[in-house]
Amino acid sequence: MRNKPQFIPNRGELKRKAVNYKTGMEIKLDEATLKKMEQLVENSSAEFLSETVASLKGLREALGRAATEPSARKEVLDHIREEAFQIKGMGGVFGYPLLTEFSKSLHDFLKELEDLDELQQEIVSIHVDTLYVVVSHKIKGSGGPLEAQLRASLKAAVDKAKPGTKPAQ
């Protein structure tokens, strides 16, 4: 037989720990502070794009290594997985949800893989190219019809190359 649940009353500790509890500070930001914060995000956005381009160049080099050195594929796979995860996490912060979406697609594709065969390397390469397009054209938001078509094509390619599926002959 189960015991009845015990309800513990809220002691208000969380409220006391809140930033404005003791000081009575207003949570609303004034115009100057808001502008300063927006400028900071804008400056950081340019740096993010620059770092993303460098990261994508590194992914392109890693793919080249995977193609020429089969023994390096595991290391390359781990590297690409980590970079995709990083880009996925930061894309939305700076207003690039397509970067997040395509990086998530890449990360999810690589999640179960232990090696990269030629077809899988090609799928990774297509993802990297897609990410380059988003960054180089600074596509903010979810894009338009062209991006929707790109999204569908990328999904179809990923589905063909998933482990355990055989390409049509």
Helices (H), the chain: 13-17, 20-23, 31-68, 73-91, 97-111, 118-136, 145-161
In a domain, 16, yes or no: no
Gap between the Cα atoms of 100 and 151, Å rounded: 12
The helix (run of H) or strand (run of E) holding residue 131 is helix 118-136
In a domain, 17, yes or no: no
Number of domains in the chain: 1
Q: Which two tokens stand for residue 37?
A: 């914060």
- Return the sign of the alpha-carbon dihedral for residues 84, 85, 89, 92: positive
CATH (domain of 67):
1.20.120
- Return the sign of the alpha-carbon dihedral for residues 35, 37, 40, 46: negative
pLDDT band at residue 104, thresholds of 50, 70 and 90? very high
Gap between the Cα atoms of 88 and 106, Å rounded: 9
In a domain, 14, yes or no: no
pLDDT band at residue 29, thresholds of 50, 70 and 90? confident
In a domain, 123, yes or no: yes
Q: Which two tokens stand for residue 131?
A: 């990410």
Q: Per-residue pLDDT tens for 105-146? A: 999 999 989 998 899 999 999 999 999 999 999 988 888 888
In a domain, 142, yes or no: yes
> Which residue, 82, 168, 69, 67, is CA-closest to 125?
67
- Find out whether 48 and 90 touch, Cβ atoms under 8 Å: yes
In a domain, 150, yes or no: yes
In a domain, 20, yes or no: no
Least confident piece of the model among 10-14, 70-74, 96-100, 104-108: 10-14
pLDDT recorded at residue 169: 45
pLDDT recorded at residue 134: 92
What average pLDDT does range 139-158 have in this prediction?
A: 86
In a domain, 132, yes or no: yes
- Find out whether 26 and 76 touch, Cβ atoms under 8 Å: no
Gap between the Cα atoms of 97 and 41, Å rounded: 16
pLDDT recorded at residue 65: 94
The amino acid occupying position 43 is N
Q: Per-residue pLDDT tens for 36-92? A: 888 888 888 889 999 999 999 999 999 999 999 999 999 999 999 999 999 999 998
Q: Which domain holds residue 152?
A: 33-161
